[in-house]
Amino acid sequence: MSVSTEQPEVSVIVPARNEEANLAECLGSLVGQAGPSYEIIVVDDHSTDRTREIAERFPVNVITADPLPDGWSGKCNACCSGARVAKGKWLLFTDADTKHSGNSIEQGLREAEENGAAMLSYSPKQEVHSFAERALMPVIFAELAATYGPREVSDPYSPMAAANGQYLLIRRDAYDTVGGHAAVAEAILEDVELAKRVKQAGFRLQFRSSDAVSTRMYRSFAQMWEGWTKNLALLFPYPLRLALLRALEFLVVATGAFLLLRARSMSDAAEALFPLAVILLFYRRLLRAHFDWLSNMLAIFGLPFFTLLLLNSYICHRRGSVRWKGRLYGTKAAPLPSGTDPPNPAGGSLAVAVPAITDRKSE
């Protein structure tokens, strides 16, 4: 079914800030979808590149995000601006760097309705190209899969809540009941915080990985470093402990590889049995992340990279500021230090309050 502008079933809202490299592919995958009637709203978040020009080439409603209120994250402000003009019974928030299968809207809506879920979120298939992407991303997503198990998140009797803002479908009445993105406007992890509020309000949550949508999150090492610095330490309850564990894991694996290479007899090779067992456990953990075999093989080099990035994220939050897309976010709360009780993903905040944002041009 073609894009509808009159009483659509779904309003697709795409917040976009300086997304000229991604937006055309995203909108091309959304226009002409099969299934329910829908509209597409692109929210230009005060871009300084060709984002708006590209969006206006497509049969979509292009609007400008409201002026950024003090303390709000740019994405929450853009999502609120889009939701304000949306007409659909359901709202689908999806990032400008995503690509959708021909029935991603229909599939998400059908799955949500079949499960009685007021909110459904897919963790997209991750596209990786560079060495750094292939090495790091499987490590991160394996950790995320272990921390936010889809079965537990989707269990209405579990307090665990999680969502991925790259594909977040929510019923309009549920969105309004919990206050929408305005209620989580100061959260850096606005998707997790919104999911938490939805579940606390008694609505059902559905969450899983899906190939219905894919994304290449970062196209350069600088983007990847900045993006994960913003988020990484907030995603795990014990960031310092986790960084230490992954550093030790890499040392054990490297030791095992060295012992195996220098082995001249079976007894020498036996010295590497424990490190080899650690390697096998590592690769077994990676299977949860659903990456290709080459990325899984290179992920061993992602362990020290993950450790450094997690420490950098923790330090930046403790110091009180992180950057993203030309904006400087001042953080009022920092991750808990190792050794304290972890936050409850549904009952305690995983997100950081943002009392001040300085808008700067993207570099």
Could you write out the DSSP letters of every residue in 320-332?
TEEEETTEEEEPS
Residues 119-136 pLDDT 10s: 999 999 999 999 999 999
Q: Chain-centre distance of CA 87, in angstroms?
A: 26
10-129+148-220: CATH topology: Spore Coat Polysaccharide Biosynthesis Protein SpsA; Chain A (3.90.550)
Identify the band that residue 264 occupies on the pLDDT scale cut at 50, 70 and 90: low
The domain segmentation of the chain, as residue ranges, is 10-129+148-220, 234-359
More confidently predicted of 16 and 71: 16
The whole-number pLDDT of residue 345 equals: 37
Q: Strands of 327-330's sheet, edge to edge?
A: 321-324, 327-330, 356-359
Whether 4 has a pLDDT exceeding 60, the answer reads: no
Distance, in Å, from the CA atom of 104 to the CA atom of 110, rounded to the nearest integer, reads: 10
Residue 87 has φ and ψ, to the nearest 5°, of: -110, -10
Distance, in Å, from the CA atom of 214 to the CA atom of 127, rounded to the nearest integer, reads: 7
Identify the band that residue 274 occupies on the pLDDT scale cut at 50, 70 and 90: confident
Residues 41-51 pLDDT 10s: 999 999 999 99
Residues 133-151 pLDDT 10s: 999 999 999 999 999 999 9
- Give me the sign of the Cα torsion angle 271, 275, 281, 283: negative
Whether 350 has a pLDDT exceeding 60, the answer reads: no
The whole-number pLDDT of residue 268 equals: 62
* Helix segments in the chain, DSSP class H: 23-30, 51-55, 74-85, 104-114, 131-147, 150-154, 172-177, 190-200, 221-231, 239-262, 266-270, 273-286, 293-298, 302-319
